[in-house]
Structure 1
Amino acid sequence: MLRSMYSGISGMKNFQTKLDVIGNNISNVNTYGFKKGRTVFKDLVSQQIAGANGPTAGGRGGVNPKQVGLGVQLAAIDTIHTEGSTQTTGRTLDLAISGDGFFQVNDGTNTYYTRAGNFYMDQNGDLINSDGFYLGEVGAPFNIPTTATSLSIGTGGTISYIDGGVLNTAQQIEIAKFANPEGLSKAGANFYGITDNSGEPEIGIPGLDGRGAIAPGSLEMSNVDLSEEFTEMIVAQRGFQANTRIITTSDEILQELMSMKR
């Protein structure tokens, strides 16, 4: 009985984790560039009741092993990097990536990676995101003169503007691509950080060598599908309830055994 109770407990704990992931997905359904999470389970080690036997020379057939599983455990929480829908905004500094890759942003010391392309211009003319992080690598911000007019950004990342009646171009926006983007760690604020399993960033021009092109005047929406999330939430809820029944049923059986003494 205790074995089945602990199996039920492991199921409850892991379905709670699944619900936590689903809740985070739903809460970020309108977050630009957000990538949904997915929970994957695997079974725990099984207790061996009897081993397997092969066929014998006397004509007796083989026997399969007898095992009792001891519950479930968390195999992975994946980040699903499928591309979200593109929303046209018409705003010059709203940028989406059509394909693979990430924008680089930095706080002057550390570089982070993001799919959220809502950028702004500060009072010095530097391009920043909503948290004040500079667009580009550390030490190489994009600066647009405050007197510039007719600012435009091309699909290849080239920034063009007119200043003093002269057409100028601004240090081209580059895209970072990773061998294993699912290996990146979420750092909050739509940022990702490098890990030992993500690989180093391959920096290059948008639209080349497998990197996505820039879609100016657009933003990438979250890739969360509410119908899928609500379906998964029902599955997780029912799974959690079923595991509670395992515990209550085992408790009732133990209660019956205890009552035999009386």
Structure 2
Amino acid sequence: MSEMPNIHTSGHEPHQGGLAQRLNWLRAGVLGANDGIISVAAVVVGVAGTGAGIAPILAAGTAALAGGAFSMAVGEYVSVSSQRDSEHALIAKERRELETMPEEELEELAALYEARGVSSATARQLALELTEHDALRAHLEVEIGIDPDDVVSPWHAAFASAVAFLCGGILPFLVILLVPGPARILATFLAVLAALVVTGTISARIGGSSKRRGTLRNVIGGAIALSATFAIGALLGTSGAV
């Protein structure tokens, strides 16, 4: 059965699924950091634009960091919990089908391999051997693209999302606190734009898109967000509303 190793190392669903999931996690981490950079920077720059002292900026920045991290964690937990529930439902369904109609499932597995270009005889032999070894795993990986040992954890996702947000948001928060006087706003702008170049480049690289286009979109979006919140803060400050 020399064909079997080729089936499992040829880049089809079972192995691409694991790689795709790791890339999705990495992309989510980059996007979480990007969100932290922009949202926290927008808050602290907006408050600084009113002419407020360091104490209000510290309070607003801390609230933005904590609120954003919790919001990201809760959103990711809910999203991944739904995904996990769907995966568990699919696993349970496949297990029931294997128990109630094993012959039909065997034929289905053989047909899936045959559809990938394997000869009929080899496909059936593969299906037989994989079914004897671990029928549920074989069907989940080939038919649905799920690794039963790699079902997503909503708690891990929530923690990773919160950490990614904090890692991004801490940069503008520290810059605006540590740089003295009027220079703090300009320094925050520059630090944020530099960070957005990095996250935009990484995100484009992961997605396989143009790094220049992806980075430019990221930087322009961040610059607009910071400019808008600074302008709003300055307007509120000069109007005497705060």
TM-score w.r.t. length of structure 2:
0.24
Q: Which one has a larger percent helix, Structure 1 or Structure 2?
A: 2
- The structure having more radius of gyration, on CA atoms, is 1
Q: Kindly indicate whether structure 1 or structure 2 has the higher relative contact order, using CA contacts under 8 Å at least 6 residues apart.
A: 2
